[in-house]
Amino acid sequence: MVAAGAPAAAQVDTPGAIVVTGASLPRADGEVAYDEATIDRDRLTATASDRIEDILGDVAGFAQYRRSDSRSAQPTSQGATLRGLGGNAASRALVTLDGVPFTDPFGGWVTYSAIDPQRLGLVSVTRGGGSGAAGPGALAGTIDLQSAGPAQLSPLWADVAYGSRNSLDTHAGVSTTAGGGFAFLTASYARGDGFVPIIGADRGPVDEAAPYEQASVAARAVIPVGDRTELQASALGFYDHRTRGLPGSPNSTKGADASLRLVGRGDWGYEALAYVQFRDFAAGFSSANAARTAATVTLDQYTVPSTGLGGKIEIRPPVGDRLQIRIGADARRVSGESDELYTYVAGAPTRQRAAGGDTLTVGAFGEATARPVDGLTLTASGRIDRWQITDGFLRQQTLVTESVLTNMRDTDRSGWRPTGRGGVAWKPGDGAVTVRAAAYLGWRLPTLNELYRLYRVGSDAIAANPNLSPERLRGIDGGVDYDPLPNLHIAATLFANRLDDAIANVTLGIGPGSFPQVGVVTGRYQMRENLRAITAKGAELDARLALGRWAVSASYALTDARVRADGAALGLDVRPAQTAKNSASATLAWQQPAGIRLSTTLRYVGPQFEDDQNTETLHHAVTLDADALIPIVRGFAVELRGENVTNTQVDTAITSPDIIERASPRTLWIGLRYGEARKGA
């Protein structure tokens, strides 16, 4: 279930005993001043889709650039954001897995298909920017994914499910405890024939189903290296292949991540983290003619390799029971390029292009939290980052003669960016009510994708911009948490944010015609630009209640977001693209002691605009999911799942000329499960 402001499960620490948790250092005392929601283990392992992006939809205000999930969406559209700060496919929320940034090094999107929710023990979502110790990039907030610990994993579990459109979904894992440590190895595999993305009314002979195939393997070992110190080693490999429903539009992502984290829980608490990420993305783009009887290949990005290297160190010195100090530093270096074939003549490419570069951020942070009197918490943090964008290049040549058309080197750029946040939390009287307020500054460096890679959506084309400036955010929020009973929680928050130099796709022309970088375009010609600002203000409500065998949770977000533009986008006093004003989610669950479990989830997303001009509207949608687990013999259970059981049309994109693409239609599953992978903490 989802709980606002709920801390992670406590770990018992007996003096002299070796306690291995696999977690980071304990949740900082100052987090109580910020707007936080958590998703627990029971919810992570009990959903209709078994997709982490759907589970994150339980948190008010979470959104991707597109409404599709990771089986049908263009992978580059799957960023993560909160509080209506959308309008861009790159993540404006910082997403981490066991403290490691999980966003794609090149593009800032999230490969959700690589994250099996059954491997996770907790998800913590902090709304609001300026993450401090977590690193830069948390404009809209921080989404912290935490691997399951030894108390949450069974020795052996496996499941297999068969679903609509010849779909297969499987998971398996083993875990063990030995020598005071623990380890797990898990694997997941999914495939399906897919559905036709274009709605029936707009469909033509060229439109086809969009199959997918995805797999991931994860291993994690936690080893005690002292009475109160542990070494955590993690590795993840994954593969994701999808098509986009047109001939010539395949895309694939391959990746491998590895990290080492040393965590000390003594009087001087500390963490030392090092990680590496390897990614390779490929995508083909094609355009259908007006009658949708034929498709023409327009671009082949045959390889987009990238690498992310980074690390962090944090120290918590012993300064007393009523004061907590955190100091540290972090760094991340990203390298990548996009290699493309373009300008197709008679179905064959005539030109080749390569573009890319490097970025580096190095930062230092400090945080202090004080509890001067019972019930009052004061916290403040600050960080300073040095950023660099270097070695940017663009090379274009003809394929037949290999004559060079363009050979450009961008000027290296660098700068300093100070940010911070502060907050106060007050629990008067018996502590049933917590009043909190916070203010924050955040920033995000443009991704290599935004700087250097162009792409197409149907007949529309979006050009890159190597001169983009970093985004900067200022924000405040305030709220009340009400906990009159252990089984009842209600939270309400008001917020206001301003995102300066917001990066967005700005329409510069309408085809047919030939435009810089992209060539011939029959639809919209857009370029990534820095808008003057995006403002977002609104309210968030979260509630949960447990009554015996019943549990209910609900979340609602109201967001009034507006673009404040100048330059090429002057006059765009509109709502950001792909940003809904209203969104809501509610889950009702029932569980019997014998193991029978039933749950339903109702979700609503309001209308939103497809484009920066607010001329194309994606209609509102209400979807219903259902999940049932029924034990049959010892260790085995039958699972029935239904996604979008009402078969609601969920608009996810509109391309010129007014062609509507949809998200997943009704999908029904029947499966067999062994073991206790759904075990809670």
Q: Model confidence over 606-642: pLDDT tens digits?
A: 999 988 788 889 999 999 999 999 999 888 999 999 9
Which pLDDT band holds residue 18 (cuts at 50, 70, 90)?
low
Q: What is the pLDDT of residue 614?
A: 85
Q: What is the pLDDT of residues 423-455, one digit of tens each?
A: 999 999 878 999 999 999 999 999 999 999 887
Whether residue 13 lies inside any domain: the answer is: no
* Average confidence (pLDDT) over 638-658: 93
For the record, the structure tokens of 628 come out as 């049932």
Q: Is the pLDDT of residue 573 over 90?
A: no
Whether residue 489 lies inside any domain: the answer is: yes
Q: What is the pLDDT of residue 170?
A: 97
Q: Is the pLDDT of residue 6 over 60?
A: no
Which pLDDT band holds residue 4 (cuts at 50, 70, 90)?
low
Are 189 and 70 in contact by the 8 Å Cβ rule? The answer is: no
Q: What is the pLDDT of residues 472-525, one digit of tens each?
A: 999 999 999 999 999 999 999 999 999 999 998 888 888 888 887 777 777 888
SS3 56: helix
Distance CA 677, CA 159 (A): 9
Q: What is the pLDDT of residues 254-275, one digit of tens each?
A: 999 999 999 999 999 999 999 9
Whether residue 681 lies inside any domain: the answer is: no
Whether residue 124 lies inside any domain: the answer is: yes
* Average confidence (pLDDT) over 401-410: 91
Q: What is the pLDDT of residues 342-387, one digit of tens each?
A: 888 988 999 999 999 999 999 999 999 999 999 999 999 999 999 9
Residue 257 pairs in a beta bridge with 236, 277
- Percent helix, percent strand, percent coil in the chain, to nearest 5: 5, 60, 35
Whether residue 479 lies inside any domain: the answer is: yes
Distance CA 170, CA 38 (A): 26
Burial of 302: CB neighbours in 10 Å, binned 0-12, 13-18, 19+: middle
SS3 223: strand
Q: What is the pLDDT of residue 468?
A: 95
Whether residue 679 lies inside any domain: the answer is: no
Which pLDDT band holds residue 571 (cuts at 50, 70, 90)?
low
Q: What whole-number percentage of the chain has pLDDT above 70?
A: 95
For the record, the structure tokens of 85 come out as 């700060």
Which pLDDT band holds residue 543 (cuts at 50, 70, 90)?
very high
What are φ and ψ of residue 203, in 5° steps?
A: -75, 150
Q: What is the pLDDT of residue 116?
A: 95
Higher pLDDT, 575 or 640: 640
pTM of the model: 0.93
Are 475 and 440 in contact by the 8 Å Cβ rule? The answer is: yes
Domains held by the chain: number: 1
**Whole domain around residue 538: which residue ranges?**
2-8+18-674
In a 13 Å sphere around the CA of 82, the CA atoms on its Cβ side amount to 31
Q: What is the pLDDT of residue 9?
A: 38
Which pLDDT band holds residue 678 (cuts at 50, 70, 90)?
very low
**Count of Cβ atoms closer than 10 Å to residue 113 Cβ:** 28
Distance CA 40, CA 152 (A): 11
**Residues in the chain, overall count:** 681
Q: What is the pLDDT of residue 372?
A: 94
Whether residue 515 lies inside any domain: the answer is: yes
CATH number of the domain enclosing 173: 2.40.170.20
Q: What is the pLDDT of residue 13?
A: 43
Distance CA 281, CA 252 (A): 6
For the record, the structure tokens of 157 come out as 């579990």
What are φ and ψ of residue 117, in 5° steps?
A: -60, -25
Distance CA 113, CA 444 (A): 24
Whether residue 65 lies inside any domain: the answer is: yes
